[in-house]
Amino acid sequence: MTAEYKVHGSVAVITLANPPVNGLGLATRQGIVDGLGRANVDAAVSSIVITGAGGAFSGGADIKEFGTDKSLQEPNLLSVIAAIENSAKPVVAAMHTVAMGGGLELALGCHYRIAAPGCSIALPEVKLGLIPGAGGTQRLPRVIGVEAALNLIVSGEPVKSEMIGAVPGQKLFDKMAASAEALAADALAFAQSVADVRPLPLVRNLPCKHPEGDAYFQFARNMVKGMAKNYPAPAKCVDAVEAATKRKFADGMLFEREVFINLMWTPESRALRHLFMAERAASKIPDVPSDTPKREIKSVAVIGAGTMGGGISMNFLNAGIPVKILETKQEALDRGIATIKKNYEAQVKKGKLKEDKYAQRMALLSTTLDYADLKDADLVIEAVFEELGVKESVFKQLDAVMKPGAILASNTSTLDVDKIAAFTKRPEDVVGMHFFSPANVMKLLEVVRGAKTSKDVLATVMAIGKKIKKTSVVSGVCDGFIGNRMIEQYSRQAGFLLDEGCTPQQVDKAVEKFGFAMGPFRMGDLAGNDIGWAIRKRRAVERADMKYSRTADKLCELGRFGQKTGAGWYDYQAGKRDAIPSELVNKMIEEHRKELGITPRKISDEEIVQRLVFALVNEGAHILEDGIASKSGDIDMVYLTGYGFPIYRGGPMHYASEVGLFNVVQAMDRFAKNPNDDAAFWKPAPLLAKLAAEGKAFA
Ligand code: NAI
């Protein structure tokens, strides 16, 4: 049973019991309706309390039912709320910990509400590209006022019950319980005290007005337009709350329903719901059960205090975990620590970090030049130069000193984690932890699973990733792992576009208009064009047949590595990050084009975007096929959290499925016929070809 029924004296208590957050799945909804029925026919019962077991009143819809028939099956939430409103005996919601989404809408349908302090109140549907769909937009303004309600609905952010409870005139809570512990007893007493009240109060009967409605809603629309230009839902929140002030309750409910259903079909909502599910799914590894024992991580060691080592250390300090950094020279340590301090001090200056917190974090940080000092660390992360020989020496020393059971991780971005593991006598304890720069800011962590990495090491690293607030995605061992392996194909295609007639600015603009945080050339300038140069030099040996545009090499031959050298695809002014189109670079591209004998042509933004995004998609399909990623959602998470792919498009694999894989393959066939592109490049991955032929999607 996911809703329990018990009678205490004259009060029937219906307790939602669907862990972890009492989601309103079909069985729970049915349980509520059954409980109401029983209470109403039991002469000994004179009032009813609905509450939640464990750590929530209710978190709303049951995500396990998302997209299944069960989510729509009767009794749906609207019907449950109707049953509550129609109960002849008073129904009291006893709210604690979490009352969100459908959970709050359920409470708003009750005759009375009593809340414990500390209860998070929210209507977060907007975060999934939706509006509340079970009366939230119509009932909430009636109890906390139009402006407060719209604020909650548009932001989706939670507010604590005691804050709302303290507002004079609010009608959301009829009573505040003295404490969370007192809620059950207070709710029983309250339910008894209202047992004889008739007629029973209903939120739907309360007035809903704004004295300057037209002006206020116009203002709200302007605000929302600026904040959420790529998302339709926030503006619809305004429309729905306005409807609550202008229409009769029943008409407002119909309006809300219509808007909700229309939003369900928007690509933006589909992308946001995909992201929501993919994020949760990413933490689950198919062959590593969730009850796999985890190792305890109480202290961390970091090898190398450079760009990455410093940022990686900050993640753990921020989470309250002590870090010891090792370097070969005192100067390198000093430089690294100074950078960490500079980063924290900038946060303090901006008011984002309190002085005492800064001091606490720095107190957790220590340094050493001696491997023996690291021996007790539970996890060590190596971030030294990207050379296998250097990694070998580091891992041999770690193997010699680290205690048994310590996890040995490498932040390598290109090297073979299995080779690194083989430098030790404990390859089962070795794993890749690939952070992205700046490591203290970027959300993505690629967890690289070596051939011998043990399951408990993986489970532990995924858990620690969560603790340091990263989105962790598991990748198998291959060149570039998931993210960089795909970006290489994207960069190759960007090069062909230059050869054919584009300027870097045109390509960047098209890609940024599509929604990427940054186009490929601005990104190259930020990351350093020399990184790709090194990879291409390696490729020239390994894969001499692979076609590349030579423009990027020519750029590097000019020493234009990007922002760090003050010049790359663009020019930069000292101390500024603004990308200024470079005449010199554009000339270089033109000359190279002449050498190739290509007559430039005007390439549409649509073609630019398709060629770049489908390059990602095709490599993503290979990655799935090779088992480097276990699901397409993982690939999307990598691109959404690490590469600035537009959130409202849901990641490359989701986007391709939205476009239709058949259409993707058709476009690829067209591109393959372009003599200035590369026919081999556009050969669809077998998985992509198969899914397209079967009319299927990736997910
Ligand atoms: P970096 O050059 O800024 O820092 C490397 C640090 O390691 C230097 O401070 C150096 O003194 C120290 N070091 C070198 N050999 C050492 C040894 N034997 N023992 C102890 N310390 C030693 O390099 P960065 O950018 O921090 O890269 C480090 C690792 O992270 C590389 O494997 C790189 O591929 C990887 N990585 C880099 C990213 C980036 O965007 N920079 C992104 C993701 C991974």
Query: Residue 567 carries which DSSP code?
Result: B
Determine the average pLDDT of the residues in 399-415.
96
Res 533 pLDDT > 80: yes
Show the tokens assigned to 244.
Answer: 């609550």
> CATH homologous superfamily for 300-475?
NAD(P)-binding Rossmann-like Domain (3.40.50.720)
Cβ 308 under 6 angstroms from ligand 1: yes
**Long-range contacts at 73-78 (CB < 8 A, ≥ 24 apart):** 73/26, 75/29, 75/30, 75/32, 75/33, 76/29, 77/24, 77/29, 77/102, 77/105, 77/106, 77/133, 77/134, 78/134, 78/135, 78/257
Res 539 pLDDT > 90: no
**Radius of gyration from C-alpha coordinates of the chain:** 29
Res 540 pLDDT > 90: no
pLDDT in tens, 444-477: 999 999 999 999 999 999 999 999 999 999 999 9
Work out the burial of residue 653: count CB atoms within 10 Å of its CB; fewer than 13 is exposed, 13-18 middle, 19 or more buried.
buried
Pocket test for ligand 1, best of 302, 303, 308 (most atoms within 8 A of CB): 308
Determine the average pLDDT of the residues in 243-249.
98
Cβ 374 under 6 angstroms from ligand 1: no
pLDDT in tens, 322-369: 999 999 999 999 999 999 999 999 999 999 999 999 999 999 999 999
CA distance 231 to 220: 15
Q: Does domain 3-264 have CATH number 3.90.226.10?
A: yes
CA distance 428 to 275: 32
Check residue 515 and give its pLDDT: 97
Q: Which of 526, 525, 523, 532 is nearest to 492 (CA)?
A: 532
Determine the average pLDDT of the residues in 53-82.
92
Q: What's the 359 CA to ligand 1 centre distance in angstroms?
A: 26
Q: What's the 116 CA to ligand 1 centre distance in angstroms?
A: 50
The mean pLDDT of the chain is: 96
Show the tokens assigned to 215.
Answer: 């002006």
Residues 6 or more apart in contact with residue 697 via CB below 8 angstroms: 657, 661, 691
Domain 483-693 in this protein, CATH class: mainly alpha
Binned at pLDDT 50, 70 and 90, residue 66 comes out as: confident
Check residue 499 and give its pLDDT: 97
Domains of the chain, residue spans? 3-264, 300-475, 483-693
Model pTM score: 0.93
Q: What's the 311 CA to ligand 1 centre distance in angstroms?
A: 11
The owner of tokens 């054919």 is 500
Of ligand 1's listed atoms, the one at least distance from the Cα of 335 is: 9
Cβ 337 under 6 angstroms from ligand 1: no
Residues 6 or more apart in contact with residue 612 via CB below 8 angstroms: 490, 493, 494, 497, 507, 511, 520
Check residue 542 and give its pLDDT: 86
Cβ 383 under 6 angstroms from ligand 1: yes
In 469-603, at which residue ranges do the beta strands (DSSP E only) sit? 471-476, 570-571, 580-581
Known catalytic residues are: 105, 125
Residue 226 φ/ψ, nearest 5 degrees: -65, -35
Check residue 67 and give its pLDDT: 76
Higher pLDDT, 584 or 227: 584
Binned at pLDDT 50, 70 and 90, residue 169 comes out as: very high
Check residue 450 and give its pLDDT: 98
Q: What's the 382 CA to ligand 1 centre distance in angstroms?
A: 8
- 437, 527 contact by CB (below 8 A): yes
Show the tokens assigned to 289.
Answer: 């059960």
Res 146 pLDDT > 80: yes
